[in-house]
Amino acid sequence: MDDVYFLAQGDQMSQSVGHVISVSGSDVSGILESSDPGTAPSNVIQIGALVRLPTAVSNVFGIINGMRVENASTDRSSAQRKIVDVQLLGEILNNDPDGPEPVFERGVSIHPGLDCEIYGATRAELELVYARPRASNVRIGTIHQDRTLPAFIMTDDLLGKHFAVLGTTGSGKSCAVALILRSILEEHPNGHVILLDPHNEYSHGFGDMAETINPGNLQLPYWLLNFEEIASVIVSQESESADVETEILKGAILEAKKKYLEGESDTDFVTVDTPTPYRMGELIRLIEAGMGTLDKAENSAPYMRLKSRIDGLTADKRLAFMFSGLFLRDNLVDILSQILRIPVSNKPITIIDISGVPAEIIDVVVSVLCHMIFDFAIWSDRSKAPPVLLVCEEAHRYIPQDGAAGFSPTKKAISRIAREGRKYGVSLCLVSQRPSELATSILSQCNTLFALRMSNERDHMYVRNALPDSALGLLNALPALRSQEAVVVGEGVAVPMRLRFSDLDPDHRPRSGTATFSLAWQNDSEFEGFVAETVERWRKQLR
């Protein structure tokens, strides 16, 4: 009776492959009725295949996530029971043939009963389950069960509720990120995406679509740093007088900011964290003045350390983007406009290449960028402010699971976006090849996960613990996924699915490919002056 509707769609009747023997929540087990797999469609009794289980009021659909043999014996002619395990996904309610088109819905209102027939899903049924969502969406690939059927993500649910792309090196993670972002931005050319690129991979893949910022054109003046960030740079953290240095620096920065604004009628709003310019020369003068009031010379050590550290920072040409002392101007509006792409000017994504930022300050740079993006959103008129997506590559470097590791201000800034960002139109995308090293509290805020191949057992178990029960069956396939394949679960897709990402044009791929040793080592290097050229670039920090 339940097959009448499907036949009416002009699709061939699906074939029964077994019947239900156990139902427990969303888990169903069944017995295959034929010992000869050739009597059933080849795609029906494979891991990941979709099956249909009819009830009195609906057709319930699930994914095969396990197969086993009971009473196994070397004698195949002996009595054996072939069991399949099915994870239920959702249902299509029985419709009047003259009524509206049927719609697949996640969740099950009535579970299949014992002895219920199990059918292999037909192509028409696959089309219904994986139909294009009615909400705003983009295509990113094809479904695993039928490579001719497209796979879609729902734009608003994906971006509005944070997401993560996780997978081991070589699984196609960087290409997946580029494909997802390009697919969205091609449909929404006035987007606002900021991508933190620690390996200079992505600028190649986005071309003229991106505003690329690197240490050569980055403007991130020291006065933008909040006090925790500037103190981590200037104060001698291992020194016994670190607490004293911190207090001296705090008072001097506050006075320097008020000095810069002394011509204004109101400076009561100024705090040590207010993003207001101040002159580094004035800061040094205030430190020297404080040192001059001391009764004993031996108490001057904290002041001398601060002054020496500031002199070293301002003299380091690698840090010119932050500590250049040539001139001072309040260019916060220009900085925010460039990074946030307001206006977009045909470049909806800002790629911040931090690969050339000195290691000792890279965490501070990331922290400043993250807190600046979030603070701007908080103080914006929400009726005018455009939503922003922040993409963190190598996210485990900034928000590690180990509470003692990482840079505290960076962890705080990203944690705050994860917890509160959606209220203010700031969304987060975490990208990592080591998900087990990511802070659980932050990953748990990501409502959509793209899980690519993971062979590491720790990573696999970590992702399993982060996903809903309805997706656990799909995750069994993670170690066996091929490059360019992923399991996608969460709010960003209409139904959990295994998919293959679309092919990226070579010009749109990130520059992340492994060196081709077999070709490069066929001939001796004959690049005249290559080593000398590299040394020159190294010394002058030219990329």
Going residue by residue through the chain (543 aa), what tens digit of pLDDT does each one get?
A: 344 344 333 344 567 889 999 999 889 999 987 645 445 544 567 888 899 999 999 999 998 888 888 876 655 555 678 899 998 999 998 876 666 678 898 889 999 999 999 999 999 999 999 999 989 999 999 998 889 999 999 999 999 999 999 998 888 899 999 999 999 999 999 999 999 999 999 998 898 999 999 988 898 999 999 999 999 999 987 777 889 999 999 999 999 999 998 877 777 889 999 999 999 999 999 999 988 776 565 678 888 999 999 999 988 888 889 987 667 888 999 999 999 999 999 999 999 999 888 888 999 999 999 999 999 999 998 888 899 999 999 999 998 888 777 788 899 999 999 999 999 999 999 999 988 888 888 888 999 999 998 877 888 777 777 666 556 667 777 777 888 899 998 899 988 889 999 999 988 988 865 667 777 777 776 667 778 888 888 777 676
Chain centroid offset of residue 326 CA = 38
Residue 39 Cα distances to 18, 19, 45, angstroms: 12, 15, 11
Tokens, residue 190? 């006035």
List 30's β-bridge partners, or say none: 20, 84
pLDDT at position 37: 47
> What is the CA angle 93-95-97, rounded to 5?
155
Q: Is 523 helix (H, G, I), strand (E, B) or coil?
A: coil
pLDDT at position 419: 93
Calpha distance 110→482 (Å, rounded):
36
Tokens, residue 196? 């933190």
In the numeric block, the tokens 């505290």 are attached to: 408
Burial-class residue 261 by CB neighbours within 10 Å (0-12, 13-18, 19+): middle
Q: Supply the pTM of this predicted model.
A: 0.87
For 335-372, letters b (16+ CB in 10 Å) and e give bbebbbbeebeebbbbbbbbebbeeebbbbbbbbbbbb
